[in-house]
């Protein structure tokens, strides 16, 4: 499992659908991981793919346009107040931030890695893209 992509020299940029929230992040990045937990599915409308970087590697402009939802006791999901774009998943430990793939401008520098929380996957789609599938998410990078 390749858990690190790129270096601190590598940058991604992105924005929400309406453009009120923009960001730049530098590597190293985690590959895009598909999360099939019920919380991701219900909030996003399907499942999410997210990369991740160090918390201090992410710079947000228009942060006042973000709202947050405490989806669990350990994390906050951040989304644009205007367009509702799901952008960031922030664990309380403050070490990292997950960045949702749909907001990234040129995501192709980051490969898809694996799927997590497959035990909560909905039954209307299959996971057959050849990536590793894990029933839970804990203990993985
Ligand atoms: Zn927006
Ligand atoms: Zn999830």
Domain boundaries, the chain: 11-133
Q: Check: CATH 3.40.50.720 for 11-133?
A: no
Q: If you measure from the C-alpha of residue 137 to the centroid of ligand 1, how many angstroms do you get, rounded to a whole number? A: 28
pTM of this structure: 0.95
Q: Alpha-carbon distance 44 to 73, whole Å?
A: 19
Q: Alpha-carbon distance 53 to 118, whole Å?
A: 23
- Whose atoms come closest to the Cα of 16: which ligand? 1
Q: Alpha-carbon distance 82 to 88, whole Å?
A: 15
Does the CA dihedral 111-72-125-116 come out positive or negative? positive
Name the helix (H) or strand (E) containing 83.
none
Tell me the per-residue pLDDT of 34-92, one tens digit each, with 9 for 90 and over.
999 999 999 999 999 999 999 999 999 999 999 999 988 999 999 999 999 999 999 99
- Whose atoms come closest to the Cα of 83: which ligand? 1
Q: Alpha-carbon distance 115 to 88, whole Å?
A: 18
Tell me the per-residue pLDDT of 83-136, one tens digit each, with 9 for 90 and over.
999 999 999 999 999 999 999 999 889 999 999 999 999 999 999 999 999 999
Q: If you measure from the C-alpha of residue 29 to the centroid of ligand 1, how many angstroms do you get, rounded to a whole number? A: 23
């Amino acid at each position: 499992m390749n858990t690190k992509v790129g270096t601190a020299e590598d940058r991604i940029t992105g924005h929400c659908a309406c453009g009120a929230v923009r960001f730049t992040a530098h590597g190293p990045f985690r590959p895009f991981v598909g999360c099939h937990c019920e919380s991701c599915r219900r909030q996003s409308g399907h499942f999410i793919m997210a990369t991740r970087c160090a918390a201090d590697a992410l710079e947000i402009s228009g942060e006042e346009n973000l709202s947050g939802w405490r989806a669990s006791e350990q994390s906050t999901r951040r989304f644009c107040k205007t367009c509702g774009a799901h952008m960031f998943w922030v664990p309380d430990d403050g070490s990292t931030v997950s960045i949702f793939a749909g907001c990234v401008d040129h995501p192709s520098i980051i490969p898809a890695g694996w799927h997590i929380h497959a035990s909560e996957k909905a039954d209307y789609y299959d996971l057959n893209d050849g990536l590793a599938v894990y029933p839970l998410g804990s203990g993985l990078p």
